Structure 1
Amino acid sequence: MFGGGGMNPRKMKQMMKQMGIDVEELDAERVVIETADGDDLVFDGAQVTKMDAQGQETYQIVGSPDAVADAGAGGAAAVEGGDADDPALDDADDGDDGIPEEDVEQVAGEAGVSKSEARAALEDTDGDLAAAILDLQ
């Protein structure tokens, strides 16, 4: 934001305070972002920072969403409940092959093939998406 690469953190904090910017680390356990398209982002254990600059509050979340929940499937409650029947909530994998379902869907869509063909190509390339797509085209 201010180009403070390599600057002393204490000096950066002092400069921000002089400019009227107050920074506070929040002890957040979980952050849920509900989007308009219904794909909610759920962050567990993310680092959350609140900045107050002249009365305008800004929140920064550092971390990766642990799950993406489809609001039609119960939203964040479906993530918390661990609904194993909903593939949109399956951010790990879809079987013993260790290939994430999201990767299978991406390869199938890009290469214009079925999910089973995409999964086989991903298995042949040890999960390399680009190589799988190239092999199928």
Structure 2
Amino acid sequence: MMGMNPRQMKKLMRQMGIKMDELDGVEEVVIRLENREIVLKEPAVTVISAQGEKSYQIVPGSEEVRPRVKVSEEDVKLVMEQAGVDEETARKALVGAEGDLAEAILKLTGE
């Protein structure tokens, strides 16, 4: 297959029942692990279909690893009450403080 031009390669793959399509407009792909997230920014994503199965080939433009913080509903409610904010704001503050209640409340109240 070496030395084959892309057009010939596509024709051969089509004959073998393999279809490849590019996904346009993909902004990011997030891989969530137990304790962190891997964020692939502006990736080139190709969907490969063969024998009824789909595979995704992802080539990232850039990569960012960030910790994954789990916050409980109790913690969110406490931050909401103490800082006088809505649920979304409280949750974001907790994630930004990596789950530290005191830090989240202090950031929201400006103290």
Percent of aligned positions with the same letter in both sequences? Answer: 40
Q: What does residue 29 of structure 1 align with? A: 27
Map residues 50-129 of structure 1 onto 2, 5 A cutoff: 50-63=47-60, 65-72=62-69
If you compute each CA radius of gyration, which structure gives the higher value, 1 or 2?
Answer: 2
Separation (CA, whole Å) in 2 of partners of 1:66 and 1:40: 10
Contact 1:41-1:65 within 8 A present in 2 as well = no
**Could you say which residue in structure 2 is the equivalent of 1:6?**
3
Letter in 2 for 1:9: P
**3-state secondary structure, aligned to 1:17:** helix
CA distance in 1: counterparts of 2:4 and 2:58, whole angstroms: 22
SS of equivalent residue, structure 2 residue 69: helix
Work out which of the residue numbers 38, 42, 46 in structure 2 matches 1:45.
42
Q: Give the 3-state SS of the residue equivalent to 1:6 in structure 2.
A: coil
Higher relative contact order (CA 8 A, sep 6+): 2
For residues 65 and 10 of structure 2, what CA distance do their matches in structure 1 show?
A: 34
Q: 1:5 to 1:62 in 2, by over 3 A?
A: farther
How far residue 38 of structure 1 moved from its aligned partner, in angstroms, is: 2.2
Instruction: With the length of structure 2 as denominator, give the TM-score of the two structures.
Output: 0.57
- CA positional deviation for 1:12: 0.6
RMSD (Å) for aligned C-alpha atoms: 2.5
- Structure 2: state its 5+ residue gaps: 72-91, 99-111
Question: Which one has the bigger strand percentage?
Answer: 2
Residue number in structure 2 paired with 1:119: none
Q: List gaps (5 residues or longer) in structure 1.
A: 75-80, 87-137
Query: Taking structure 1 as reference, are residues 11 and 67 closer, same or farther at Cα in structure 2, changes over 3 Å only?
Result: same
Q: Distance in 2 between matches of 1:72 and 1:65?
A: 22
